[in-house]
């Protein structure tokens, strides 16, 4: 009976962590900023905040990690409740977003960045990924942390 419990816990742990996405190394220069300094007035004119707004359902099973490429250049991995600030040239940019939920779930998005673009929300969904320019900071932004460059 004890062996069966151990096997059960190992199986559950394997299922929960099998969806973990390995990070990709960023080819972008992140703009480091303290959370107190982040204000919509300091964003725009090419400086855009990108954040992962994964729901609790994706964070429970470890499927909320997003690997992001912009114009075929790796941005890196943004985990749930993390953000990064990137400088963009005005114009159209191609985003590729990947998360794992037993299978690779990849989506592509075309985004027009202009001087008024400030905030992009990225979120894994059951069948794809959602990406939208919101130009508003998320609720309870003080709980978000700056995404570290991962190797």
Q: Where would I find the beta strands (DSSP E) of the chain?
A: 47-52, 66-70, 73-78, 82-87, 91-100, 104-113, 119-124, 129-133, 145-146
pTM of the model as a whole? 0.78
Domain annotation covers residue 114: yes
CB 119 within 8 A of CB 49: yes
Domain annotation covers residue 151: no
Of 46-50, 83-87, 103-107, 145-149, give the lowest mean pLDDT range: 145-149
Domain span at residue 14 reads 1-146
Whole-angstrom distance, CA of residue 103 vs CA of residue 99: 8
Q: Select the more confidently predicted residue: 141 or 59.
A: 141
pLDDT higher than threshold 80 for residue 43: yes
Portion of the chain with pLDDT greater than 90, in percent: 44
Domain annotation covers residue 4: yes
- Which pLDDT score, from 0 to 100, does residue 105 have? 86
* Total number of domains constituting the chain: 1
Angle CA 116–79–6, to nearest 5:
165
What are the pLDDT digits (tens) for 48-81? 999 999 877 666 667 788 999 999 999 989 999 9
């Amino acid at each position: 009976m004890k062996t069966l419990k151990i096997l059960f816990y190992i199986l559950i742990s394997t299922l929960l962590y099998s969806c973990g996405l390995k990070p990709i190394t960023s080819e972008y220069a992140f703009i480091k900023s303290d959370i107190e300094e982040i204000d919509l007035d300091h964003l725009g004119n090419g400086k855009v905040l990108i954040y992962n707004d994964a729901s609790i359902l994706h964070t429970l099973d470890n499927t909320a990690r997003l690997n992001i490429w912009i114009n075929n250049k790796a941005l890196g991995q943004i985990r749930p409740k993390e953000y990064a600030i990137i400088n963009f040239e005005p114009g159209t940019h191609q985003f590729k977003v990947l998360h794992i939920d037993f299978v690779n779930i990849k989506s592509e998005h075309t985004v027009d960045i202009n001087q008024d673009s400030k905030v992009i929300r990225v979120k894994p969904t059951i069948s794809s990924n959602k990406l939208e320019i919101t130009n508003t900071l998320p609720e309870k932004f003080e709980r978000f942390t700056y995404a570290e460059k991962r190797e």
